[in-house]
């Protein structure tokens, strides 16, 4: 269902009864996006900031949305490395979860505002030095997510038949970086996914789903072709800990249990806590579902299992062909307190070999630093894979940008630096968690801004944003080829038309060159 | 009891309408239109005599009471009235951003039971309670006239443990 949101019109006269006095703004028949929630608090009539948001995924868009709502007239320039927006909503959310992508409707609404500018196909820190932004913006928000994934640390992990779930998901979702992954799904009948989060379950579901079900989604055609020749019949989803500690969520488990012609291997009874009724509701419902499993399906052609308490130790390669995976040897682990969701886990001396020809690692994503980040005062915590901040997303508050011991006045023109989403809190949680997180960052920015400019009397020259950046980049002969929102809409249109020909909502371009060509059409 | 609530709600609405008119006059502007606008494709203006009442308590503790029609769901009502409820998945029961907490347990029991899918999403909601529901799944019926729901505190008391890990 598409929500036809009322952005430009005042609320229905008949149905509105706002107890607290609405601001004057509410009574104007035409109200811009930023005024939507203006009745939540005293009206602010000071200057509005010009903000650079880096990344166009949910973290970037939800931060932009909140900023534009809270301070009327806030200008947001959103930088994106690819010519296409929406980040993991486009490249991460599973193709068979189209309803999760509905948040794009909200993002499109944000993008439709005259105060919003999309600057795609510009790779900050590479095409454009990051410090250059400082004098053209009041604030820079890092919202570029996690672009790498964690490795198992096993010898031979880089060899064929071993894939990162991030790469596999990116590949079937049309992420240009992995367009040529071409995974070989014909080497054998078994696959192992190491990791028990929702990404691991997405991989398992994609491998087990019927191709004619997937063919109605926006999964890429090249992925469909590879999947249709897949020989994989059983998927082990392996985790180091037990069912009580697993990171997946119940919806994803239920979907897998409902897959037609797919049998779930029951979980041994002793792995469950003896009394499920004692558990808090979410964990209890998940345990009950896992215990119930799937009905016996005699016609099942494929199967899957959740294999608990196993940590990968080494990869077993064929003696005759060193590039042919034969299995994975796991160490059996032991939980200190099997019933506790954050129980510690220790290795035992026992090992277990699971024969397999294909391995996916899905043990988490990882963010990376952007070159030049520390020059704007941001410090990247390599161990956590996040940007250091104050807990609410503040990296450098307004007015202090670039202040150092050697340069106490701050050469960065008082730019405020903030972070939002996965690069702020680490790669965990669903879109709703990122939304909450992004709203928190936006609220911090608004609070800091209003503290500095509490009223219109503190007039302030607006910073020139993208216009200034572009002029400076030109003067430096930086070859930028930005893609703006209207050009993305052209790409979008072509993708949808291509999809319609194939009975799909969209056929994504897998290469940047194809995207750029469509943008020029 | 219900009659009393209904009466109370009606009084509140009348009071607000009067306040609004005063303010409009003060500003020397007339409202764009005094008849219900048809812009909200997703909520239907109630027929006279068939108005149902629903009150939302926002995160600041302010109460907002609306006259609505049978069949409207809480997400649509909140959005049509500019309350801060996101509905990220567009009301398709695929996220938990329209989480509401029903104030009265008796009222909660009158709402048709939540499906597995709704409960699955609620399990991911911040501040889940015994009387939590997803706004997009609760449709107004005459039985629910006078319903009061709270919007959960979204951004406050946010802890790392609130996030389901995704590995």
Q: What is the CATH number of the domain that holds A257?
A: 3.50.50.60
- Kindly state whether residue A105 falls inside one of the protein's structural domains: yes
For residue A483, what is the DSSP state? B
Which pLDDT score is estimated for B2? 62
Which SS3 state, helix, strand or coil, does residue A321 take?
A: coil
Cβ atoms of A438 and A76 closer than 8 Å: no
**Are A465 and A500 part of one and the same domain?**
no
Residue A93 CA, distance from chain mean position: 8
On whether A59 is known to bind a ligand per the annotation, the reply is: yes
Which of B89, B136, B152 to mutate against chain A (most A CBs within 10 Å)?
B89
pLDDT over 90 (residue A61): yes
Which residues in chain A (393-452) have CB-CB distances under 8 A to chain B? Answer: 425, 427-433, 435-437, 439-440, 443
* Interface A-B: count of C-beta contacts within 8 A: 200
ipTM over 0.90: no
- Kindly state whether residue A37 falls inside one of the protein's structural domains: no
Angstrom distance (rounded) from CA A347 to CA A48: 56
Tens digits of residue pLDDT in A17-41: 333 333 333 333 333 444 444 444 5
Tens digits of residue pLDDT in A148-182: 899 999 999 999 999 999 999 999 999 999 999 99
**Are A204 and A304 part of one and the same domain?**
yes
* Tally of structural domains, chain B: 1
On whether A309 is known to bind a ligand per the annotation, the reply is: no
DSSP A259-317: -TTEEEPPPPGGGS-S-GGGS-HHHHHHHHHHHH-----TT--EEEEEE-SEEEEEEEE
Contact across the interface for A12 and B96, Cβ inside 8 Å? no
- Kindly state whether residue B167 falls inside one of the protein's structural domains: no
Angstrom distance (rounded) from CA B134 to CA B95: 9
**Are A433 and A513 part of one and the same domain?**
no
**Are A231 and A248 part of one and the same domain?**
yes
**Are A25 and A108 part of one and the same domain?**
no
Number of neighbouring beta carbons within 10 Å of residue A2: 11
pLDDT over 80 (residue A223): yes
Token pair for residue A30? 């035409």
Domain span at B69: 2-155
Tens digits of residue pLDDT in A72-89: 999 999 999 999 999 999
**Are A357 and A375 part of one and the same domain?**
no
Asked if B149 is an interface residue toward chain A (Cβ–Cβ < 8 A), one would say no
Cβ atoms of A356 and A188 closer than 8 Å: yes
Angstrom distance (rounded) from CA A99 to CA A279: 30
Q: What is the CATH number of the domain that holds B13?
A: 3.10.20.30
**Are A136 and A116 part of one and the same domain?**
yes
Asked if B64 is an interface residue toward chain A (Cβ–Cβ < 8 A), one would say yes
Token pair for residue A487? 């050009």
- Kindly state whether residue A495 falls inside one of the protein's structural domains: yes
- Kindly state whether residue A419 falls inside one of the protein's structural domains: yes
**Are A336 and A238 part of one and the same domain?**
yes
| Domain boundary pick from A340, A365, A390 | A365
Domain span at A513: 485-521
Exposed, middle or buried, A17 (CB in 10 Å: 0-12/13-18/19+)? buried
DSSP A169-226: HHHHTT-GGGTT------S-SEEEEE--SHHHHHHHHHHHS-HHHHTTTT--HHHHHH
Contacts of B137 in chain A (CB under 8 A): none
Asked if B44 is an interface residue toward chain A (Cβ–Cβ < 8 A), one would say no
Which pLDDT score is estimated for A398? 72
Predicted confidence band of residue A335 (pLDDT cuts 50, 70, 90): very high
Select the residue of A15, A103, A199 nearest B166 (Cβ to Cβ). Answer: A199
Angstrom distance (rounded) from CA B52 to CA B77: 12
Task: Spell out the residues 6+ positions from residue B113 whose beta carbon is closer than 8 angstroms to its own.
Answer: none
Asked if A391 is an interface residue toward chain B (Cβ–Cβ < 8 A), one would say no
Torsions phi, psi for A459 (to 5 deg): -55, 150
pLDDT over 60 (residue A122): yes
- Kindly state whether residue B165 falls inside one of the protein's structural domains: no
Residue A23 CA, distance from chain mean position: 36
**Are A409 and A428 part of one and the same domain?**
yes
Select the residue of B36, B76, B82 nearest A36 (Cβ to Cβ). Answer: B82
Angstrom distance (rounded) from CA B123 to CA A252: 13
Which SS3 state, helix, strand or coil, does residue A431 take?
A: helix
**Are A51 and A19 part of one and the same domain?**
no
Tens digits of residue pLDDT in A290-313: 999 998 888 899 999 999 999 999
**Are A339 and A355 part of one and the same domain?**
yes
Task: Spell out the residues 6+ positions from residue B98 whose beta carbon is closer than 8 angstroms to its own.
Answer: B74, B75, B78, B85, B86, B87, B91, B134, B135, B136
For the beta sheet containing A310-317, the strands, ordered from the edge strand earlier in sequence to the opposite edge, are A310-317, A325-335, A345-355
Which pLDDT score is estimated for A44? 84
Distance from CA of A431 to the nearest CA of B (A): 8
Region for residue A214 given its phi and psi (left: phi exceeds 0; alpha: psi -120 to 50; beta: otherwise): alpha
Asked if B62 is an interface residue toward chain A (Cβ–Cβ < 8 A), one would say yes
Query: Which residue of A lies nearest to B51 if distances are taken between CA atoms?
Result: A15
Torsions phi, psi for A224 (to 5 deg): -60, -45
Asked if A16 is an interface residue toward chain B (Cβ–Cβ < 8 A), one would say yes
**Are A221 and A361 part of one and the same domain?**
yes
Which residues in chain A (482-511) have CB-CB distances under 8 A to chain B? Answer: none
Tens digits of residue pLDDT in A375-409: 888 999 998 899 999 999 999 877 655 455 544 44
Contact across the interface for B124 and A282, Cβ inside 8 Å? yes
Stretches where chain B sits below pLDDT 70 are: 1-3, 5-6, 9, 13-41, 154-167
Number of neighbouring beta carbons within 10 Å of residue B161: 9
For residue A370, what is the DSSP state? P
Token pair for residue A7? 């952005």
- For the full predicted model, state whether its pTM sits above 0.95: no
| Domain boundary pick from A365, A391, A421 | A365
pLDDT over 70 (residue A521): yes
Indicate if the alpha-carbon torsion angle A317, A319, A323, A325 is positive or negative.
negative
Contact across the interface for A247 and B166, Cβ inside 8 Å? yes
Select the residue of A5, A254, A439 nearest B120 (Cβ to Cβ). Answer: A254
Q: Compute the radius of gyration of chain B from its Cα atoms.
A: 17
Contact across the interface for A24 and B19, Cβ inside 8 Å? no
Asked if B107 is an interface residue toward chain A (Cβ–Cβ < 8 A), one would say no
Which pLDDT score is estimated for B126? 85
- Kindly state whether residue B50 falls inside one of the protein's structural domains: yes
Contact across the interface for B88 and A102, Cβ inside 8 Å? yes
Could you tell me whether strands B147-150 and B52-57 are parallel, antiparallel, or unpaired per DSSP bridges?
parallel
Angstrom distance (rounded) from CA B121 to CA A273: 23
- Kindly state whether residue B6 falls inside one of the protein's structural domains: yes
Query: Which residue of B lies nearest to A29 if distances are taken between CA atoms?
Result: B32
For residue A26, what is the DSSP state? G
Angstrom distance (rounded) from CA A277 to CA B79: 37
Per-residue b/e over B59-81, b at no fewer than 16 CB within 10 Å?
eeeebbbbbbbbebbbbbbbbbb
Token pair for residue B63? 């109460």
- Kindly state whether residue A496 falls inside one of the protein's structural domains: yes
Predicted confidence band of residue A42 (pLDDT cuts 50, 70, 90): low
For residue A132, what is the DSSP state? G
Q: What is the CATH number of the domain that holds A70?
A: 3.40.50.720
- Kindly state whether residue B162 falls inside one of the protein's structural domains: no
Between A31 and A106, where is the model more confident? A106
Torsions phi, psi for A129 (to 5 deg): -65, 135
């Amino acid at each position: 269902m598409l929500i036809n949101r009322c952005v430009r019109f005042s609320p229905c006269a008949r149905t509105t009864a706002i107890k607290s006095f609405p601001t004057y703004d509410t009574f104007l028949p035409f109200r811009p996006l930023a005024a939507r929630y203006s009745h939540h608090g005293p009206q602010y009539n000071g200057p509005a900031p010009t903000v650079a948001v880096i990344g166009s995924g949910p973290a970037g868009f939800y931060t932009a949305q909140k900023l534009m709502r809270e301070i009327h007239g806030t200008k947001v320039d959103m930088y994106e490395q690819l010519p296409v927006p929406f980040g993991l909503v486009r490249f991460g959310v599973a193709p068979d979860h189209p309803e999760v992508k509905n948040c794009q409707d909200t993002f499109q609404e944000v993008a439709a505002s005259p105060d919003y500018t999309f600057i795609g196909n510009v790779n900050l820190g590479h095409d454009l030095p990051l410090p250059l932004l400082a004098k053209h913006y009041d604030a820079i928000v890092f919202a570029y997510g996690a672009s790498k994934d964690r490795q198992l640390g096993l010898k031979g992990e880089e060899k064929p038949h071993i894939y990162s779930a991030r790469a596999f998901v990116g590949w079937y979702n049309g992420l240009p970086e992995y367009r040529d992954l071409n995974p070989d799904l014909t080497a054998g009948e078994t696959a192992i996914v190491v990791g028990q989060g929702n990404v691991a379950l997405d991989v398992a579901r994609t491998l087990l789903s019927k191709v004619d079900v997937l063919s109605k989604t926006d999964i890429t055609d090249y992925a469909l072709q590879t999947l249709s020749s897949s020989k994989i019949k059983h998927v082990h989803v392996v985790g180091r800990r037990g069912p009580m500690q697993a990171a997946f969520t119940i919806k994803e488990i239920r979907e897998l249990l409902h897959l037609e012609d797919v049998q779930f291997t029951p979980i041994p009874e002793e792995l469950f806590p003896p009394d499920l009724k004692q558990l808090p509701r979410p964990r209890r419902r998940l345990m009950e579902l896992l215990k119930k499993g799937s009905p016996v399906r005699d016609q099942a052609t494929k199967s899957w299992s959740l294999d608990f308490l196993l940590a990968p130790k080494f990869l077993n390669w064929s003696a005759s062909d060193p590039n042919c995976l034969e299995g994975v040897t796991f160490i059996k682990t032991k939980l200190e307190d099997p019933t506790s969701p954050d129980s510690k886990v220790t290795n035992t001396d026992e090992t277990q070999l699971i024969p397999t020809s294909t391995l996916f690692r899905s043990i988490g994503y990882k963010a990376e630093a952007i070159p030049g980040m520390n020059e704007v005062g941001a410090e990247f915590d390599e161990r956590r894979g996040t940007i250091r901040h104050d807990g609410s997303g503040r990296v450098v508050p307004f007015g202090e940008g670039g202040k150092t011991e050697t340069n106490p006045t701050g050469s960065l023109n008082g730019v405020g630096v903030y972070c939002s989403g996965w690069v702020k809190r680490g790669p965990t949680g669903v879109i709703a968690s990122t939304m909450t997180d992004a709203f928190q960052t936006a609220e911090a920015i608004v609070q800091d801004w209003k503290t500095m400019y509490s009223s219109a009397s503190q007039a302030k020259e607006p910073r020139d944003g993208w216009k200034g950046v572009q002029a400076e980049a030109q003067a430096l002969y930086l070859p930028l080829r930005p893609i703006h929102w209207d050009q993305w809409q052209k790409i979008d249109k072509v993708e949808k038309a291509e999809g319609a020909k194939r009975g799909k909502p969209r056929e994504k371009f897998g290469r940047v060159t194809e995207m750029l060509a469509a943008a020029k059409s | 009891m219900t009659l009393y609530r209904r009466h109370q709600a009606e009084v509140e609405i009348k009071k607000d309408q009067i306040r609004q008119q005063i303010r409009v006059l003060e500003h020397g502007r007339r409202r764009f239109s005094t008849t219900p606008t048809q812009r909200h494709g997703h909520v239907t203006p109630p027929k006279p005599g068939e108005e149902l009442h629903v009150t939302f308590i926002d995160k600041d503790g302010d109460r907002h009471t609306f006259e609505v029609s049978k069949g409207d769901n809480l997400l649509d009502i909140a959005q049509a009235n500019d309350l801060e409820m996101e509905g990220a998945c567009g009301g398709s029961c695929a996220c938990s951003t329209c989480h509401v907490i029903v104030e009265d347990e008796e009222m909660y029991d009158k709402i048709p039971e939540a499906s597995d899918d709704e409960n699955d999403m609620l399990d991911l909601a911040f501040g889940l309670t015994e009387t939590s529901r997803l706004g997009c799944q609760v449709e107004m019926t005459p039985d629910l006239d006078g319903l009061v729901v709270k919007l959960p505190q979204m951004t406050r008391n946010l802890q790392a443990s609130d996030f389901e890990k995704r590995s």
